[in-house]
Amino acid sequence: MEASRDFVYQKFCEYYRDPSTVIPAPVLLGQREFAYLLFKERFMVRHKRFDGISNLKSVLSETVPSDVYHSCAYYENPDFDMDKKGWLGADLVFDIDADHIPTSCNKIHDEFTCSKCGFSGRGITPETCPACEGTKFETKIWPCELCIKSAREETAKLIDMLENDFGFSLDELHVFFSGHRGYHVHVEDEALRSLDAMARKEIVDYVTGLGLRLFEKERVNAKTKKANEKFRLHNFGWYRRLKLGMKNIIANGTEEDFKRIGVKDTGLLLEKRQAIIDRCIDDGLWGGVFGIGDGTWMKLALYVKNLQAAKIDTVVTTDVHRLIRMNGTLHGKTGLKKTEFPAKNLQDFDPFTGAVAFKKGEVKVLVSDVPEFRLGGETLGPYKNETKELPVAAAVMLICKGRAKVAN
């Protein structure tokens, strides 16, 4: 394995020392903390400050880290200890990762093993071990097409909310492929920098649809002395989204769809689709069609909410001191670059070509077990216990994933 690590280290070294390598400078570079994980020692160097991108690139070419980060926050003294940095503000940052999105593929290619008791399984890694309640795991995960597609769909939801509900233009949003299995969205707006963790939590709650109130109180009942509550949706923000989503499912849903949602009287929805849309949703007369009551509306609304809520890593957004991977640097788990592209190009950007750093050469590797995958314009695999001559980018990714080693 040492020869394989040396091979990957050498390729990272060539990348950072190549004069043509572009590493864009983040805004207000001199007010950010920088950190990087040393390749061989596996030690995180933190609290670094750089006055210019050339100085940073020089350090990267000398140290050759496996991963490079900078703070989302701005500080008076970025190179001081945390309690002495002098927090000035922070960008609003979102992280969308396939690790947090249940997909059919992760039960096929993702594995976890408890470091404490050895319990293993497939799928999303649990927070605690089912056998011993341990919290540390060794994982084997794979960035497949479906993983990336799922993360892209969640990112599209987020961008739509930021643009249409929060009022940001697409030009104000910085969108990146993370280099692994997800996307980052940065909002570098000066008006947002002073938001504290609680204010950012409010944004997270909105994006994830947490705490939506679907009932409004009406007049107090004379007998019970309590206010009656009725299902109500207005035409703004999340409620507009719910109404549009419910119109779509009522117009196009099948009997199986409605049963899956939990609606009992599916026949009524199928028979009176247009009347329900016109009277109940468009005119706001939620009780306007006999037999369609609050229970049905609640089930439909919750179903749509779960569909349209963006699955983000909530901790990243609320952390005002968060370190985030640096644009243009390599991801230590894949050898791919964190890469920025225009928000409008989200659907068109292909990470398996656009984020490839190593575009020349081939190397012979012994592959243990890899599904079919696409990288750099080629479709490769599946391989199992085979010696193959692969493009350097593919070899680096397989070695970083622990699924191959350099052949003697």
CATH code where residue 252 lies:
1.10.8
* 126 plus 51 within the same structural domain: no
> Which of 276, 308, 340 is the C-terminal boundary of a domain?
308
**Looking at residue 182, which CATH number applies to its domain?**
3.90.920.10
Sign of torsion, CA 333 92 71 339? positive
Instruction: Classify residue 170: in a domain, yes or no.
Output: yes
Q: Do 50 and 31 meet the contact criterion of CB atoms below 8 Å apart?
A: no
Which pLDDT score is estimated for 138? Answer: 87
Q: Give me the amino acid identity at 243.
A: K
Q: Do 134 and 114 meet the contact criterion of CB atoms below 8 Å apart?
A: yes
* 187 plus 88 within the same structural domain: yes
**Looking at residue 374, which CATH number applies to its domain?**
3.40.5.50
Domain count of the fold of the chain: 4
Instruction: Classify residue 267: in a domain, yes or no.
Output: yes
Instruction: Classify residue 402: in a domain, yes or no.
Output: yes
Q: How far apart are CA 53 and CA 320, in angstroms?
A: 23
| % of the chain beyond a pLDDT of 70 | 96
Q: Whose CA is closest to 332, among 49, 69, 54? A: 69
Higher-confidence residue of 266 and 214: namely: 266
Q: Do 329 and 338 meet the contact criterion of CB atoms below 8 Å apart?
A: yes
Q: Which pLDDT band, with edges at 50, 70 and 90, does 275 fall under?
A: very high
Q: How far apart are CA 60 and CA 38, in angstroms?
A: 10
Does the pLDDT of residue 219 top 60, yes or no? no
* 182 plus 263 within the same structural domain: no
Q: Give me the amino acid identity at 356.
A: V
Q: Could you give the strand order of the β-sheet that contains 111-114, starting from the edge strand earlier in sequence?
A: 120-122, 111-114, 137-140
Higher-confidence residue of 181 and 125: namely: 181
Which pLDDT score is estimated for 265? Answer: 83
Chain segment 150-159, per-residue pLDDT in tens: 999 999 999 9
* 177 plus 296 within the same structural domain: no
Matching residue, tokens 């306007």: 288
Instruction: Classify residue 210: in a domain, yes or no.
Output: no
* 245 plus 377 within the same structural domain: no
* 261 plus 127 within the same structural domain: no
Q: Which pLDDT band, with edges at 50, 70 and 90, does 107 fall under?
A: low
322 C-beta neighbours (distance < 10 Å), count: 17
Does the pLDDT of residue 224 top 70, yes or no? no
Does the pLDDT of residue 324 top 80, yes or no? yes
* 7 plus 27 within the same structural domain: yes
* 378 plus 277 within the same structural domain: no
Instruction: Classify residue 328: in a domain, yes or no.
Output: yes
Q: How far apart are CA 347 and CA 78, in angstroms?
A: 36
* 22 plus 123 within the same structural domain: no
Instruction: Classify residue 83: in a domain, yes or no.
Output: yes
Q: Do 184 and 158 meet the contact criterion of CB atoms below 8 Å apart?
A: no
Domain hosting residue 348, numbered range: 2-97+158-203+313-357
* 90 plus 192 within the same structural domain: yes
* 336 plus 376 within the same structural domain: no
Which pLDDT score is estimated for 40? Answer: 83
* 288 plus 391 within the same structural domain: no
Does the pLDDT of residue 220 top 60, yes or no? no
Does the pLDDT of residue 217 top 60, yes or no? no
